[in-house]
Structure 1
């Protein structure tokens, strides 16, 4: 006999998992850092932000792009390897609605996320941070110069090198920062990707271009340099290159729109695969539930959910207590250091 499995609600809210979300982007040049900061500091048009709420954003450290770039340049080492990652942008957020009616927990989550980044990289290497409250889901953006603490050189690979390191980083972040406020780690092994917002919104807002019709004038070699007696005109290769560039520029919006659509299709496929994996994990539970009489099934599920909630609450309390003990230990260490300083 087949049965439907319903997620139970508590206080009118769905108790489906809410996730701690951590994304990173590697920036390899001052130009890319500046471009990213212009978005973060709202010094360019940001379609997904509410301008009336932008004053509510918290600017931690630099207050604008100019100050942010100055802090970035100051933190860079003297020697920079060619093609090195010069800055890492962290984006910390959560599932939409995860902190509904829990503003204090949301503030604690974002502030603890910043502390986690500072411990990971060293406070001096976290050059700027912004808590954005002018978008639907408040989030933290932080900029880090990835200097190796042992050598002082740029070494992004030490922090983000390889799939294993990224997986461990996500797990540690969810355990230390997400779990105390009721957030879980995302599905391990998920292949979901993140499309740049600028590309996504631009592709959505563009209309499909009309077909480009070439004329005899387009095919005629153009004059490159005009002299008194002779002129330099395009050869056949230059004509072909010019026409190719013209066609490419004309159809670029359509190509970007197609890319966004293809990415959305790919994500949907990957989500279906993740759902299949989750269903496979739940299958033993579903089989057990089918053997239980219908009148008792809901009570059994409700009991399991309550037990899981109690366990999660206990783990959260232990994590909060561990954070308090860590803060006390830091305070004691500072006191001892101050005492040594006065004794010299």
Structure 2
């Protein structure tokens, strides 16, 4: 038995180059065009939403955020899920690929919230099957910096606790990244 791969990468949300790769609007060199029809959209966009960038914006608009989103703020996290080539080949040959996809989608939903997963696509046209997922880092709860601000003598404007906010840093802390790899 090999290993599972979970790769996470922050993005600004206008993810045109990666969206073109995922949606196959461009032809990557490492993809077999005769197998592209085997690719599957595992999570569909909401009605009226046609692209990954629009899906990210739709989630931001419907999340109930109260603070303005900064220009440099991370709006989405790209996630790549796969395993060793031998393991993925075995899973495919045993007819368990649908089960593998369901398990991965359940993991993403349990870990990050089902409503935050705006896209998931299974690629079968490359050498090793894999899932490209896009999640919007919407969280609830107390801010990590709140304690630091209380220790400083300067008085800052009190920010409400427990509100819905966009925060990739909370999802991608060193400790959480390690725990994702273990789970």
- Displacement of 1:28: 1.9
1:338 paired residue number: none
What is the alpha-carbon distance in structure 1 between the residues aligned to residue 23 and residue 126 of structure 2? 13
Query: d(CA) in 2 for partners of 1:121 and 1:99?
Result: 24
The answer on whether the counterparts of 2:118 and 2:134 sit within 8 Å (CA) in structure 1 is yes
**1:121 aligned partner:** 112
Structure 1 residues 1-344: aligned runs within 5 Å: 17-30=1-14, 33-60=15-42, 61-62=44-45, 66-77=50-61, 79-103=68-92, 104-150=95-141, 151-162=163-174, 164-172=175-183
Deviation at 1:101, TM superposition (A): 4.1
For the residue of structure 2 that corresponds to 1:111, the secondary structure is: helix
Paired with 2:176 and 2:91, the residues of 1 have a C-alpha distance of 32
Would you say the 8 A contact 2:20–2:26 is kept in 1?
yes
* Contact 2:13/2:53, CA 8 A, preserved across alignment: no
Q: Which has the larger radius of gyration?
A: 1
Q: 2:88 touches 2:128 (CA, 8 Å); kept in 1?
A: no
* Alignment coverage as a number of residue pairs: 152
Q: Distance in 2 between matches of 1:101 and 1:29?
A: 35
TM-score, normalised with respect to structure 1:
0.41
CA distance in 2, matches of 1:45, 1:76: 30
Provide, for residues 301-338 of structure 1, a one-character-per-residue CA deviation record: whole Å limited to 9, x for no partner.
xxxxxxxxxxxxxxxxxxxxxxxxxxxxxxxxxxxxxx
1:23–1:92 CA contact under 8 A, matched in 2: yes
CA gap 1:161/1:139 in 2 versus in 1, 3 angstroms: same
- Cα distance in 1 for residues equivalent to 2:165 and 2:88: 39
Higher relative contact order (CA 8 A, sep 6+): 2
